[in-house]
Each structure stands twice: as C-alpha cells, then as structure tokens.
Amino acid sequence: MQTALRTSLPEIEPAGRANFVPHARVAREERPVHVSGLPLGIRGLRKSFGDNEVLRGIDLHIPAGQFVAIVGKSGCGKSTLLRLVAGLEKIDAGSISLGDEVQAEDIRVMFQEPRLLPWARVLSNVEVGLGRDRASDDAHARAEEALTEVGLADKRDQWPSVLSGGQKQRVALARALVSRPRVLAFDEPLGALDALTRISMQRLLERVWRDQGFTAILVTHDVSEAVALADRVLVIEEGRIAHDVLVNAARPRARGSVELTGLEGSILSHLLSADDRT
C-alpha cells in the first residue's frame, strides 16, 4: 500500500531549485524535498496501568518522513503511545525502534497546552528546546530562525502572557522545531484553538513538515484534520491498530473535497461502530 504513495514523492521545488530534475517532476504535490526523519518500527508493544491494559499489541512501521495521524476514542491509548515513542514512559513488552543513530534531541513532542515559561521572553522559551545546545554560540540565531519559521520573529522580546492562544502554540512549535527534530509527535496540539486559528495552524504544520522532512505523528480527535494533514490515518481500538487508512490525495489539499470528505466519513464510521460495540 505504501508503494503507491511513495512513487508520487518528493516535490515542492522552490523556483530556485527547478533544475534539480528528479524532484521537479512532482513539484506540485508539496511533499518534503529532503527527508530528515527517522523511520519508526513498533512490534508487539504492550502497556498497562495496573489492571488497565491500554495497548495490547501494537505493530507498526512508519517510513522516514511520513506524516501519520492517530485517531481513536478518548482513553484508547493515543497519548500513551506517543509518550512511549518519545521515551517519556516505559514499555511493558515489545519494542520501539527509531534506528541506531537516534539521540534524545531527535524526538520532540508538542502538547495541547503550550507549556511556556511565563517568566521567560518568547525567544528564551524557544531556546529551551535546544536542550544542552542552549549554551552554544548560535543558540540565539537558531531560536530566531525557528521563530521566523512560525511567523513570529517580531514577538521575540514579548512575554508569553501577551500572546494569543494561537501565537502561544506557534511559540511551542518553534521550541519543538529549534533542535531540528527527526521525529515530531503532536498530541492534539490544536485542540484548544478556535476553528480559524486551527486551520491556519494546520497549514503551518504541513508547511514545516514539508520544509524540514521530519517524521510526523499527530494525535487528533478531529478526523477532518487527520485527513487534511496526514499521509496515513491509524485508528486505535481496543489497544490495537484496527484500521490503517492511506490518504493519497495530492497536496496542497483542498479541504472539503469529495475525496477527503469521503475518507473522513469512512474513518468516522469506523470510530462510531467501535463505539457502538462498547
């Protein structure tokens, strides 16, 4: 199934690089030009909290640079899965592999709450994402670059408290991007935003993914968001991946298109039928 998707790869040739022929052919579909992401392999992954068997055997392969969305009803284990992948929680059984060369700063997680430090200005908040590189000479420059990427260069000296909800999430995104992660995990990052801000953030996420080529794993309860952004949507049910749906629509995607709406409907019906069984 992945082959169909992969053959329509790379693209988005910015004008100045149009002579780079292998990528120019599919320039319209706006996929990452350079894949910096790591592949993710999960086998037989299990996780319980006491008697509560949350993940009961997850098997999954995500190719480097793919954008995957994870949906499922509340409490099905989406955040637990992300936390395990990010190494924030210990696995009970099975394995998670991100390749041999993986380092802690290669993986970043962005949450629904921006979690900014209120006593630090915007630029310093972004620098936090550099971890131990924060002391390096180019820390300011890297943080400024990340802020520019999210369109907030002019807010560098502001306090977080004066920013809107959407702007705070953009700072959180810059903090996640500043270390140039190779896997970016998003746990319902747009869940608290109003509809319009959410759509503009979705576009921003898609753009930074396309520009940087990391592997993206997005947990969302919004199925239309999942099909708008992801190459592939996984539905978790009863601790396993119950459906693995490929989204082959070309990018940039027309929201509300017949193709996306149809996919959204079929994923929603999976979710609702699971709900009826419980």
Ligand X SMILES: Nc1ncnc2c1ncn2[C@@H]1O[C@H](COP(=O)(O)OP(=O)(O)O)[C@@H](O)[C@H]1O
The answer to whether residue 69 forms part of the interface with ligand X (CB under 6 A) is no
The token duo for 1 is 């199934």
The answer to whether residue 76 forms part of the interface with ligand X (CB under 6 A) is yes
Residue 147 burial (CB count, 10 A): 25
- Residue 77 CA: distances (Å) to CA of 4, 73, 202: 29, 9, 23
Name the binder of 77 from ligand X, Mg ion, none, CB < 5-8 A by kind. ligand X
Nearer to Mg ion, 79 or 224 (CB): 79
Residue type, 50: G
Residues 6+ apart with CB under 8 A from 105: 131, 133, 179, 181
Closest CA to 93 of 144, 59, 133, 123: 59
Select from 66, 79, 125, 202 the one that contacts ligand X (CB under 6 A).
79
The answer to whether residue 52 forms part of the interface with ligand X (CB under 6 A) is yes
The answer to whether residue 278 forms part of the interface with ligand X (CB under 6 A) is no
Residue 46 burial (CB count, 10 A): 16
The answer to whether residue 78 forms part of the interface with ligand X (CB under 6 A) is yes
The answer to whether residue 80 forms part of the interface with ligand X (CB under 6 A) is yes
Name the binder of 52 from ligand X, Mg ion, none, CB < 5-8 A by kind. ligand X
Nearer to ligand X, 85 or 146 (CB): 85
Name the binder of 76 from Mg ion, ligand X, none, CB < 5-8 A by kind. ligand X
- Stretch of 3-11, 15-23, 36-44, 69-77 contacting ligand X, by CB under 6 A: 69-77
Name the binder of 80 from Mg ion, ligand X, none, CB < 5-8 A by kind. ligand X
Nearer to Mg ion, 73 or 203 (CB): 73
The token duo for 142 is 């890297």
- DSSP, collapsed to helix, strand or coil, labels residue 233 as strand
- DSSP, collapsed to helix, strand or coil, labels residue 73 as coil
- Stretch of 15-23, 77-85, 167-175, 226-234 contacting ligand X, by CB under 6 A: 77-85
The answer to whether residue 79 forms part of the interface with Mg ion (CB under 5 A) is yes
Q: How far apart are CA 236 and CA 213, in angstroms?
A: 25
DSSP-derived pairing of the beta strands 107-110 and 183-187: parallel
Total residues in contact with ligand X, by rule CB under 6 A = 11
DSSP-derived pairing of the beta strands 40-49 and 93-97: antiparallel
| Residue in the structure block whose two tokens are 């988005």 | 12
Select from 1, 2, 49, 104 the one that contacts ligand X (CB under 6 A).
49
Q: Which residues bind ligand X (CB under 6 A)?
A: 49, 52, 54, 72, 74-80
Q: Which residues bind Mg ion (CB under 5 A)?
A: 79
